[in-house]
Structures are given as C-alpha cells and as structure tokens.
Structure 1
Amino acid sequence: MAVAAGTIGSLMATLDTSIVNAALPTIQGEIGASQDEGTWITTAYLVAEIIMIPLAGWMVRILGLRNFLIICGTAFTGFSMMCGLSNSLIVMVIGRLGQGFTGGALIPTALTIIATRLPPSQRSSGIAIFGLVAVLGPVIGPILGGYLTETLSWHYAFFINLPIGIGLVALVIATLPDEEKDLGLFFRADWLSVIGMTLFLGALTVVLEEGLRERWFESTFIIKLSIASAVGFIILVWGQLTAREPVIRMGIIFQRAFGSVFFLSLLVGAALYGISYMLPQFLAQLHNYNSLQSGEVTLLLAIPSVLMMGVFPLLVRKVDIRILVAAGFVFYAVGCNMNAYITQETSGQNFIVPLLVIGLGQFLALIFLNQAAASSVSEHLAEDASGLFNAARNLGGSIGLAVIKTVVQSRTWFHSEAFAGGMTRNAPNAQAYIQQQAQQQGGGDMVLGMGRAYASLNNTFQTMGTAYAYADMFWLFSIAMLLCIPFAFLLRPLPNNAEIVA
C-alpha cells in the first residue's frame, strides 16, 4: 500500500505537467492573460518541479518519508485548488509554482519507496509500475485536460486533484510508519549546492522554455538567465567539491553504470515529452484536430506499455536488461523513421502503426531503464539516484521541446522558401496556375483574384513546409535513438536468475 501511495503521488504530479496544456488557451482568456503571459502558467510549474526533484531525497532525510509525503500531498492538493479558483495570472502562477515544488517532491519519492521499502523479490514489479506511470502521464495528461475542458470546465483540470490528493494522504497515514526526523541536517546543509542547483536548473529551464519566443540570444533577458545558470552551475560544483555532507551526492553521475542511466534518461525524456508534443501540434496545425481528437491519437503510445506489462516479469528474469534497453531504442528509431516521411496529407489514422512501434520502444527503453537506475547504486544512495534520474528525464524533456520548437520553425521557413523557389523556376507553369486560380477566386475581379491566388499559394507552401519540418524532426529523433544503443551496453546487468534489483 505504501508503494500505491507513492505511485498515486507520482501519477498526480506527472499528469499536472501536461494536463493544463490542453486548457491553456481557455485559461488565458478567462484570467485575462495574453498568450506570452500565459506561457508562465506552464513554465512556473516546470521550473519549480525541476528544482525540487533532486532535492527530494535530502528533504526526506530531514523530515522522514511519512511526514514528507503528508506535507507534500496536502500542499499539492491545496495549491491545485488555488489554481482552480484563481481569477488572475498572479494567483495562477503562484499556485503553479506551489504545485511544481510539491509535485516535484512526489515523483522521485515513489521510486525511493520501491527501492528501499519493498523486498528484493518484488522490487522489479514495483519499478515497472513506476515506469508505466512515467509513460502514461505525458500521454494521458493532454487528453484528460482536453476532455475536462470540453465537457466541464478548465477548473476541473485542477479540481481533479482533490479526491486523488485526499486518497494519497490517507494511504500514507495508514501504511507508512513514522520515522525519526533529523532536523539538524537542515542547519548542516550544503547550502552552496542548494543555491547553485536552484539557480542552475531554474534559470536553464526558463531559457529552454522561453528562448524561442524571446529569439534566443537576441534577448538580454535570455542572456542574463544563461549567465545566471552558468554561475549557478559553478556554485553547485564548488559546493560538491567542498561540502562534508552534500545535499545530493552528484558524484554518482561519474560512475559508469549510473552515468549511462543519467545520459540515456536525458534522451528518453526528450523523446517521451517531445513526441507527445509534436503529434498534437502537427494534427492541430494541418488538420484542425482539437485537443481531445489529437489526444486520442497520442494515446496509441501507451497501448504497448499496458499490453506488455504481463510479460515484464518474464523478460526481466530471462533477458539481459542491456539487450532490452537497446531493443527499445531500436524500436524507437524505427517508429520515428516511419514518421520521417509524413506530408501535409498525413492524418491521425496514418500514425497508428508508427506510434505503436514507438510505444513498444518506449516501454522497453523507459521501464527497463528505471530498473537499471535502481540497480546501478547501493541502497543508501537510492534517494540521490532517484532524484537525479527523474530530474534528467524532465530536463531532457525541456531540452527536447526547445530543440523541436526551434528546428520546426527554422525548417518550416526553409522548406516553404524551397517550394516557392521551385515555382519561380517554373515560371510559365506557375503563372498559368495563378491565372487559373485568380479567375476562379476573383469573381470577375482579376486584381482581387490575383491577391487571393497568391495568398492561397503561399498558404499551401506554408502547410507543406510545416509538414516537412515535422518530418525532419522525426528523422533527427530516429538518429538520436540509434546513437543511444551503444550506451545501453554500459548499464549494469541484473542477476540472470532473479527478478530482483540489487
């Protein structure tokens, strides 16, 4: 039951990373926020979450696991209600910051419970459930948010956390024993690392989320944040080198087994959040899918994970975990490559097979990578490993989204210009086509018709360019996934004859 409590908390926090995205346009309108201002509703959550995830293990050592989960579960529920009742941008952003801090604490704590509270014979099953939550959260979030917004109101995207939060706190109280607190850790803390990590991860996340909108380094705002992030990183490194008792022992990143897990988690996070972002964007821009329709297509990614859970115990006992993770990246690459040939005619039904293949790769890569993360360090380092592993996945997601937005924008322009240039080089045919369109659309007024014909042609080029840009991004993902395969063989293998995590 303690594992159930941790898993519920992790699912609640993971869902809230993406559930608001579908309701964001509606929320912006009702609280009087512009499109640029409204992005802070998402950014505030991500910044707070990425800061808190690696610090959760330290907070558990200070307060004890039971007290920590009760505080975070109660606070997360309260901040969710604050967001649902808010009628201004300031209140909403404060609520989202609170959600991010408390939700960020719930995500790694679930893996800590599994690694430290379950008997060895049950840990792999617990880790599989945690991995399934990590897969389902980004996929289910948009469709659930879209459904609640379309059928009820955007407020329920936040109110849904009330019964879940109450259930979480009740489970924690009923199943987890009270532990001895060590409040002295707070006063002996390695505050250089805390300050450095907060500045480094917080500023970096804002740069990644707001960079494209601010035109990257053309903006003094982005330049200042980048400098702040670099300074934070230097402070963090100095704190790690000088502290007697580091808040989080980041040295495990330089161990071969966990270092490979950390690196692969960055790339899996980029793919997990990136593909879940690209599909709805593509379908909305080219085929006018609403959030619910695009969410139904994206849900295909989760089907293989649900179906494969039954064979997970057999796979973990019989097959080398390194082969399973490598196979996951192969399926990831194949599925992404299948999507590298999409055009403006590609619609939801054309994604069925590629998404099922990607979903199978997602299951193998992510869930067995969770297994590798838990087995790569000794039990007394489980809290630090869980925090770093989950932070890497979320940071990878932010990096992936920043790359996607930048590449899609630049490649859309590139392809649109290429199509326009091709028409110019075939001037006689182009002029004949434009004349024909002008006659059809002008209603006898050739000047009006020519304007409409050129606008229609430009819109066609833009649509084709957008489709090709997303195809380019899927191709890049396929290459990135193939490059991950050698790193899978640096992971620490599990015992051949046991369903355990050492």
Structure 2
Amino acid sequence: MSGPPAPAADQVTSRTWIAIAAAVLGVFMAVLDTQITNASLPEILGSLSASMEEGSWMSTTYLAAEVVAIPLTGVFLRVFGPRTFILGNTVLFLVFSTLCGMAWNLESMIVFRTLQGFFGGALIPTAMTLIIVSLPPGRRPMALAWLMLASTLAPTLGPTVGGILTEFYSWPWIFYINWLPGVLMLAGIAIGLDAQPKKFELLLKMDWLGIAGMIVGLGALIVFLEEGNRKDWFDSEFIRTTSFVAFAGILLWIGSQLLRPDPFVNVWLFGRRNFWVSSGVGAVAGLGLYGSTFVLPLFLAHIAGYNSRQIGETIMWMGLPQIIMTPVAAVLAKKIDNRVICSAGLLLFSVSCFMNAYMTADTGYDQLIASQIFRALGQPLILITLSNMAIHQIELANLSSASSLYNMTRVLGGAVGTALLSTAITMREHLHSEYLVEAVSLFSSATRERIAAITTMHMNNNGDIALATHQTMATLNGVVQREAFVMAYSDSFFLLGSMLLASVGLVWLADRIVAPGAKGKGNR
C-alpha cells in the first residue's frame, strides 16, 4: 500500500494529515459501533419482538464480521488502491448502518449488522497502515497515539452515545449518527489521497482456500466465544460443533499461509520476537479494555440500578484523562525505552482493576472516579508503545500484514476477555451464593433478628402474616443474590488486574525500542 508521499525528512503535507485524520475518524466510528447497541438493547429488541438471548446475535455477528475483515484488508488495499478501497468501504459501511436503523425484524437486523461489521472492520488496520507508509518515522508516534486514542475511547463512549440518542430521539439514530463522521471521513480521504491503478489480476492469484478457512475459522471462533457462556459451553451441541469448525478453519488458514510463497497475510511475522510480544501483550490489553467496559456497566446497571445516561456519566471519567495523556505518551515514547512506558501503563491499568476488586453494593459514581482515572492514564501508555513494537524493523512489504495481524489479535483478545469474564461471573456468583446461603443460618441470633425486623416492616405495609413471611424470604433471597453478584463482579476485576500485571514480564522479552524521532537515543 502507498499513501501520499512525504516530501522530505519530517516534512508532511497538509493533504497527508487530512487523509490520516479521516482514517482515524473511521476507526473511531467502526469501534464505537461495536458497543453502541449495548445500552439500547431493550428498546431495539422490543421494537423487533426479540428476546435478549436472540438479540445477543446483533453484537456477535458484528464482531465476527469485523475480525474476519481485518486480515483481508491488505488484499483489498493492493487490489483497489487505498483511495478507492477506503471510499467504497466507507460508503458501504454507511449504507448498512442506515439499513440497521430501518431493520424490520431480528433476521434483517442480524444480516445488516454483519455487513456493517465487515466493512467497519476493514477501517481499523487501514488507518494504521496508512500512518506507517505515509509518514516519516519521526512523525509516526503522535499519529499512532491518536489512532490508539480512537481505539480506546470509542468502546468507552459507545454505550453512552447509544443511551443518549435512544433516550432523547429513538434507537435507529444510533445507526444514523454514523453519517456525521462518515461524510467528514469521505471528504478527508477524497482530498488527501490520490487515485491509484487497480490490480484486479491479483484476485486470480489469491489463496481462496486459505481465505475461506480464515473466514469460517475466525467467524466460528467469535461465535464460540460470544455464545459459549449463554449455552453452557460444551454441554451444547451447537457450541461443540462451532469449536470444531473454528479449529478446522483456522488450521486450514494457518497451514495455507505457512506453505504458500505469497500468503495474503504473512503469519510468519509471529515468529519475530518483537511482533509476537507486542501481539500477545496487545491481546491482554484488549482483554482488559473490552473486559472492563463490559463488567463495569453491567455492575452499575444490575447492582447500582443506573440507567444508560448515569452509566455513561460514570465511565466518561476515562475520556478526558486519555485525551490529555495521549500526546504525553507519544512524546515519552520518543525519549524513553518503550518497555518502561508500557510496563508503567500496565501497572496503572492493573491497579485500577484491583481498586474495583473491592466494590460493594453501595459503590457508585464517586467511588469509581479514581479507578477510572488510573485506567485512562494507563491505556495510552500501553497501546502507543505496543504499536511501536509491532512495526519495529518490519519491512515495507510486510507492513499491511503486521497491521492486520496486530489489530486482529487485539480485537480477539477483547472477545476472549468478554467470554472469560461472563463465564467467571456466572461461576463465581453460584459459588458465592452457596457460601452466603450457608452463612445465613436460622441458628444465628443476628439472622433471626433481621428476619423479624423485615417481617414486621412488611406486616405494617399489608397486615397479612403469610404474605409478610413470603416477602421477607424473597427479600433475603434478593440480598443474598445481590451480594453474590457484587463479589463475582469484584472477582472478575481481580482476574483482569492479575492478567495485566502478569503481562509486564512478557513486555521485557522485547528489544529496547525508542520511537523514531528521538535525538541522541537509538534502538538495539
């Protein structure tokens, strides 16, 4: 892929910056749509006459299509050229976004969300590749910093934007709103990139068997991860079949890429130490990012009883610190060993998770501000330095593959994290419920006093002893279940913090890297 040529040294034309800004905006738009339906699911499903379990396929199919599209991006860029590909891809993304808002039943919504996810997924690695090939080394860190900010800020804002639009307008507007950034993106790409010759002959040389294996394998893997906990994992025939299809498809894809002299995506890059380290830590960072934005809104809605607007106001604390920290992280990456910066970011992120590991039923907005700020300060430090590691000493011919594979592993890490955490919450809630039920003993004077007080309260309200007794037991059961879920949510944050902390050791297997553009410092 080739973008607008940089004139000389660190001089970059305004057209190039316009194109890059448009590409980063596209990433924000695509990642935002991964989470934007979460806060509006009740309204969407009510309009489509679908259950919550059926509605889960809206997110599952979007994510599956997004992951499948990422490795294919390099192929499309070579065949169509950056300008034509990005413009056509964006138009199709906007068309299917509009059709999502016009969906007339669940089946049509799932089809449109799948196609929306496919064309949105292609925007993610395209922006990173455009930055790498269009900018001189000294200008890349800041551009990559804003790209990573778009990637981390969008999941945070998704539920908030969706909730606000649904509350003040209606749920179709969470899809129609894409036209605002979409039109700006189209204008930026049209202005900033020159048209290039098409290379349709490359399609005849493509490894279509490997591509088919990748599409089936990665798609099945996402379905396996997203639906596994809802269907009790391997107790479900559907999940067993899906796992086999995922394994077979991915094996076919990887095997095909390893054996062909001209693979459509170079999986041999995972044999390079810096690349597999950055991809591995990136997967853990994706797990932490998507996992925390999955668990915290769930806790606030389920335990604190927050609506979508209140949830948005709480998690918005992750926004401003990231905007401030992003340029700081880019400057630091030019002066300090990136392993040090990444480790500091992972420590901040893990500390924020450990702070959330001690939540109670009374935890709310005020108690969550500090942990949100720690998390927001850590994320830019992690993702900016990991992107530097991922492209370190990667040849120009392999940049598209590096961008695609790095972004794919990060998104897959998020999918694995969501599946892992949803399973952990279910299992730990059952375990804590058993312990709490055993602890609530009628032989305990404190328990008897509590039951008597609740029964008296219900008696004063309705005057019926039988009904009051029934309500008392229901109240106690509700308290036990609530506390069990609080402890399960806390345990999930402890798990996240432990994994992020453990990944610090992995970072130090990479080379010492200082981002290009640093004066007086080199890489070795």
Residue 114 in structure 1 maps to residue 136 in structure 2:
no
Rounded to whole Å, the distance in 2 between the matches of 1:495 and 1:345 is 45
Query: Bigger shift: 160-169 or 243-252?
Result: 160-169
Residue 269 in structure 1 maps to residue 286 in structure 2:
yes
SS at match of 2:120: helix
2:250 counterpart residue number: 233
Superposed CA offset, 1:173-228 (max 9, x none):
22111122221221111123211211111001001111111111111111110110
1:466 counterpart residue number: 485
Rounded to whole Å, the distance in 2 between the matches of 1:150 and 1:461 is 32
User: Alpha carbons of 1:376 and 1:302: their partners in 2 closer, same or farther (altered >3 Å)?
Assistant: farther
The answer on whether the counterparts of 2:258 and 2:267 sit within 8 Å (CA) in structure 1 is no
The answer on whether the counterparts of 1:339 and 1:474 sit within 8 Å (CA) in structure 2 is yes
Amino acid at match of 1:230: F
Shift of the alpha carbon at 1:360?
A: 1.2
User: Alpha carbons of 1:50 and 1:310: their partners in 2 closer, same or farther (altered >3 Å)?
Assistant: closer
Shift of the alpha carbon at 1:498?
A: 2.4
Residue 56 in structure 1 maps to residue 73 in structure 2:
yes
Residue 287 in structure 1 maps to residue 309 in structure 2:
no
SS at match of 2:357: helix
Amino acid at match of 1:237: I
Shift of the alpha carbon at 1:231?
A: 0.8
Within a 5 Å distance, the mapping from 1:56-455 to structure 2 comes to 56-424=73-441, 426-442=443-459, 443-455=462-474
Rounded to whole Å, the distance in 2 between the matches of 1:24 and 1:237 is 36
The count of aligned residue pairs is: 502
The answer on whether the counterparts of 1:258 and 1:376 sit within 8 Å (CA) in structure 2 is no
Structure 2 spans left out of the alignment, 5+ residues: 1-17
Amino acid at match of 1:213: R
Query: Bigger shift: 232-241 or 448-457?
Result: 232-241
Rounded to whole Å, the distance in 1 between the matches of 2:28 and 2:510 is 27
Instruction: Give the TM-score taking structure 2 as reference length.
Output: 0.93
Seq. identity, %: 35
Rounded to whole Å, the distance in 2 between the matches of 1:492 and 1:198 is 33
Residue 488 in structure 1 maps to residue 507 in structure 2:
yes
Rounded to whole Å, the distance in 2 between the matches of 1:108 and 1:313 is 19
The answer on whether the counterparts of 2:336 and 2:514 sit within 8 Å (CA) in structure 1 is no
Query: Bigger shift: 345-354 or 375-384?
Result: 375-384
Shift of the alpha carbon at 1:426?
A: 4.2
The answer on whether the counterparts of 2:141 and 2:515 sit within 8 Å (CA) in structure 1 is no
Rounded to whole Å, the distance in 1 between the matches of 2:408 and 2:295 is 22
Rounded to whole Å, the distance in 2 between the matches of 1:67 and 1:259 is 32
Shift of the alpha carbon at 1:428?
A: 4.0
* Superposed CA RMSD: 1.7
Superposed CA offset, 1:69-106 (max 9, x none):
01101100111111111221122111111111110101
Superposed CA offset, 1:291-320 (max 9, x none):
111111112122322112342343122211
The answer on whether the counterparts of 2:141 and 2:384 sit within 8 Å (CA) in structure 1 is no
Rounded to whole Å, the distance in 1 between the matches of 2:510 and 2:146 is 21
SS at match of 1:318: coil
Query: Bigger shift: 106-115 or 26-35?
Result: 26-35
SS at match of 2:441: helix
Rounded to whole Å, the distance in 2 between the matches of 1:303 and 1:24 is 27
Amino acid at match of 1:218: D
User: Alpha carbons of 1:497 and 1:266: their partners in 2 closer, same or farther (altered >3 Å)?
Assistant: closer
User: Alpha carbons of 1:497 and 1:112: their partners in 2 closer, same or farther (altered >3 Å)?
Assistant: closer
Query: Bigger shift: 191-200 or 433-442?
Result: 433-442
In proportion to residue count, which structure has more helix?
A: 1
Amino acid at match of 2:328: V
Rounded to whole Å, the distance in 1 between the matches of 2:478 and 2:330 is 52
The answer on whether the counterparts of 2:30 and 2:120 sit within 8 Å (CA) in structure 1 is yes
User: Alpha carbons of 1:369 and 1:416: their partners in 2 closer, same or farther (altered >3 Å)?
Assistant: same
Amino acid at match of 1:286: I
2:11 counterpart residue number: none
Query: Bigger shift: 162-171 or 267-276?
Result: 162-171
Amino acid at match of 2:258: L
Rounded to whole Å, the distance in 2 between the matches of 1:426 and 1:267 is 47
Residue 475 in structure 1 maps to residue 488 in structure 2:
no
